[in-house]
Amino acid sequence: MNLKKVDGSPFRAVLFLTLAVTFGCAPPPNSRSPAPVVRPAPSPEVRLRIANEKDLAELVTAQRGRVVLVDCWATWCGPCVKQFPHTVELHRRLADRGLTVISLSCDDPDNQEAVLKFLKRQQATFDNLLSRYGASEEGFNAFNIKTGALPYYLLYDRQGKLREDLGSGTRIEGLKPEELDKAVEQLLAEPAPQD
Amino acid sequence: MKRFSLVLSLLAVSALAVAPLAYAAKFNKKVEIGQAAPDFKGLKGTDGKEYSLDGFKDAKALVLVFTCNRCPMAVAYEDRMIDLQKKYGEKGVQLLAINCNTGEGLDAMKERADSKGFNFPYVLDESQQSGKDFGATVTPHVFILDGERKIAYMGSLDDNMDDSKVQKHHVADALAAILDGKAPVTTETRQFGCGIRYQ
């Protein structure tokens, strides 16, 4: 659109456009039943930050009183990608009952864009960490992923104590989601610390 | 009092005597450093030949790599395996890649070996027995057998999936030591990759 064609003055053109935008789509001023404005709740942003084992420990400590599930995963790990929606579902279903979910990606920090893209698609609206060590021996050691294989789940009780570490191990059937659910439910049923 | 001290000393000595002297593996539940390698026989290679442990008598060191076609971590290490064979093959080292995963099959393995140009045998162990006997838990999982076919090193090939970020070349360092007639400084590291699933 060439603004000068409206009436030759750019100021008037801006005024015209402003009025058009302000009132152009609004209901008529004397309409008897204006349509209620329904604004969707803003969806929480999905964020990702690079972290080491100290950052994870601090995050877990800050959740004292809640059960914490850490899903250690990677975009290059097929079973992890397959099971990730289940982790998101656990967060949605059990956050109100005291479950905090944290994801820890063992991808290389150079791939953080791909990781974030995946997390956004999954609507992973919890704390998402990316191991600063990437997919390395140092990373598996730092986060104590004992089996050296993903997915691997760390489960902390309401006192902040690591109670379970669950991985597929070398079982043919892998780790069943029901096993994870059961472990989470058991810790949720335990009382919160008194102090 | 003297008698009491004597009893204590005897107790201490007997405690030492029953303490396990062998090196206890940190990341392997099945085998230990220094023990004789578990035997394997008749594993079919993608080249149509059959391979057994006693078929590598001339090798100064044998590098077994439990690997597979599909695991991205194992795939990330394929070029490094080729490079190792290239570099250490002329010094008398032989690499053998063993696939004991289910559902991949020799045809798919042959395709992989051909397309990548593997310069080492790639064998299938449908029984999964070799993996079980060595306590292999992930792909890739490496075991170096020295000239006497004792386990001299086990764990990861190096310390990073991304080869541009590797800082510790575990297998290359261990091979250099063995070829020099010495024991490797690092004998065991944490293996990492995709879990091998056993029937």
Q: Are A149 and B195 in contact (CB under 8 A)?
A: yes
Is pLDDT above 90 for B149?
A: yes
- The minimum CA-CA distance between A172 and chain B, rounded to whole Å, is 4
Q: How confident is the model at residue B9 (pLDDT cuts 50, 70, 90)?
A: low
Is pLDDT above 60 for B19?
A: no
Is pLDDT above 50 for A7?
A: no
Please report residues of B whose CB lies closer than 8 A to that of A78.
70, 194
d(CA A134, CA A117) in angstroms, rounded, equals: 17
Burial of B183 (0-12, 13-18, 19+ CB in 10 A): middle
- The minimum CA-CA distance between B14 and chain A, rounded to whole Å, is 34
More confident residue, B74 or A26: B74
Q: How confident is the model at residue A193 (pLDDT cuts 50, 70, 90)?
A: confident
Residues facing B93 on adjacent strands: B61
Residues facing B65 on adjacent strands: B97, B142
Is pLDDT above 60 for A169?
A: yes
Q: Can you read off the two tokens belonging to residue A124?
A: 């992973």
Q: How confident is the model at residue A41 (pLDDT cuts 50, 70, 90)?
A: low
Q: Which of A135, A170, A171 sits opposite B161 (nearest CB)?
A: A135
Is pLDDT above 90 for A178?
A: yes
Q: Which residues does B124 contact at the CB level (< 8 Å), separation at least 6? A: B43, B44, B45, B46, B98, B99, B100, B104, B105, B106, B109
Q: Can you read off the two tokens belonging to residue A151?
A: 């997915």
Q: How confident is the model at residue A170 (pLDDT cuts 50, 70, 90)?
A: confident
Q: pLDDT over 90 for what percent of chain B?
A: 86
Quick one: DSSP state of residue A149? B
What is the mean predicted confidence (pLDDT) over B101-120? Answer: 96
pLDDT for residue B51: 98
Q: Count chain A–chain B contacts defined by CB atoms under 8 A.
A: 74
Sort strands B194-195 and B138-139 into parallel, antiparallel or unpaired. antiparallel
